[in-house]
């Protein structure tokens, strides 16, 4: 595929605000980490005021996924999630613009040996994770210790697209940011023995109809991507789950052992297994999962929407 390159057209006046915005974002990323997190908590208050549409979706998701919690407990979890959302802007900036030394001071690792073993064996790795509020940081932390190929969505703004691509490749010269829907390149890299970041936990609607299976997600029927086993099979790769957990003033990168006997001959059971792993990871820090995504928007034929409010009808 053709990757975004810098061109003189990116200096045209229509991109000046984008460059200024990234300059401010870069500057904020140079602030002490504690200051950035303080600002993130202040931003959470703005989200509470101006982000009601997404907050209503998160609230509904939490009601569906944690029925065992009483109203007070759900309200507390929602507020913690809003606080986590407030930190997203600063955590992306920290991932994209902070120096390697600064990042290394904020992370601890468990299970790096699983990636190193796969690399020594020359086997590709589907580095399976989930959409947490700090997913860019998780990928950056991994790339500090082990070269991986990431995933990115092409942006209509050429400057934004160019910068996000470069920021996700900056720690390793052989790291590649692969466009989200470029399946052929993903498989090619896996067969070359590369580790490729992959998160199969969201509902992509009609775009994923062919690979969707309906399975319980926190006990609620949901459209679940079944492609993890396909990538493992086509790429002749291992599947290694990894998750990033925000702690008090740092992050824990937890890399689990490769899945045994995966893929199997039963894609339904494979997908069920992946969803179970994701659920267990979410329970470690439920406020850090991206609940503002309409996880249950695709319903089995004949079933009504689980999002009744007009605010909950967003993609």
pLDDT at position 208 over 90 = no
Q: Where are the domains of the chain?
A: 8-313
pLDDT over 90 percentage in the chain: 83
Which pair of tokens denotes residue 107?
A: 């992370």
How far apart are the C-alpha atoms of 162 and 96, rounded to whole Å?
Answer: 13
Q: Where are the beta strands (DSSP E) in 26-184?
A: 107-110, 124-128, 150-152, 177-179
Lowest-pLDDT range, 164-168, 188-192, 271-275, 293-297? 164-168
As a whole number, mean pLDDT of residues 309-315 equals 51
What burial class does residue 278 get, using C-beta atoms within 10 Å of its C-beta: 0-12 exposed, 13-18 middle, 19+ buried?
A: buried
Contact yes or no for 129/156 (Cβ under 8 A): no
What pLDDT is stored for residue 132 in this prediction?
A: 96
What is the CATH number assigned to the segment(s) 8-313?
3.40.1130
User: What residue has token string 């991994």?
Assistant: 142
How far apart are the C-alpha atoms of 162 and 14, rounded to whole Å?
Answer: 15
Average pLDDT over the chain reads 93
What pLDDT is stored for residue 3 in this prediction?
A: 67
Contact yes or no for 141/115 (Cβ under 8 A): no
Structure confidence at residue 2 as a pLDDT band (50, 70, 90): low
Q: Where are the beta strands (DSSP E) in 120-278?
A: 124-128, 150-152, 177-179, 195-198, 212-217, 220-225, 237-246, 251-255
What pLDDT is stored for residue 174 in this prediction?
A: 85
pTM for the whole structure: 0.92
Using CA atoms of 36, 83, 246, 254 in order, give the dihedral in degrees to the nearest 10.
-140
| pLDDT tens track for 52-104 | 999 999 999 999 999 999 999 999 999 999 999 999 999 999 999 999 999 99
Contact yes or no for 127/157 (Cβ under 8 A): no
Strand partners, 107: 251
What pLDDT is stored for residue 309 in this prediction?
A: 64
């Amino acid at each position: 595929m053709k990757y975004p390159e810098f061109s003189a057209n990116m200096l045209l006046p229509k991109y000046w605000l984008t460059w200024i915005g990234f300059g401010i974002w870069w500057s904020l990323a140079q602030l002490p980490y504690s200051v950035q997190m303080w600002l993130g908590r202040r931003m959470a208050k703005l989200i509470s005021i101006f982000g009601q549409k997404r907050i209503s979706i998160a609230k509904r998701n939490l009601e569906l996924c944690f029925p065992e919690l009483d109203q007070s407990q759900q309200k507390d979890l929602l507020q913690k999630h809003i606080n986590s959302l407030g930190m997203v802007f600063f955590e992306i900036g920290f991932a994209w613009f902070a120096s390697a030394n600064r990042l290394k001071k904020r992370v601890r690792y468990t299970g790096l040996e699983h990636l190193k073993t796969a690399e020594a064996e020359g086997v590709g790795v589907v580095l399976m994770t989930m959409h947490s509020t700090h997913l860019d940081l998780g990928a950056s932390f991994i790339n500090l210790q082990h070269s991986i190929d990431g995933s990115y969505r092409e942006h209509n703004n050429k400057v934004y697209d160019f910068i996000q691509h470069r920021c996700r490749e900056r720690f390793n010269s052989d790291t590649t940011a692969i466009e989200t829907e470029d399946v052929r390149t993903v498989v090619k890299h896996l067969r070359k023995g590369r580790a490729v970041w992959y998160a199969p936990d969201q509902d992509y609607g009609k775009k994923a109809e062919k690979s969707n299976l309906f399975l319980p997600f926190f006990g609620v029927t949901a459209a679940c991507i079944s492609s993890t086993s396909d990538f493992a099979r086509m790429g002749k790769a291992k599947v290694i789950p990894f998750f990033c957990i925000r702690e008090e003033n740092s992050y824990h990168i937890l890399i689990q052992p490769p899945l045994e006997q995966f893929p199997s001959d039963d894609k339904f059971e494979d997908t069920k297994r992946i969803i179970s792993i994701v659920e267990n990871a979410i329970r470690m820090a439920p406020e850090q999962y991206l609940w503002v995504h309409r996880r249950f928007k695709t319903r089995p034929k004949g079933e009504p929407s689980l999002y009744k409010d007009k605010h909950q009808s967003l993609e």
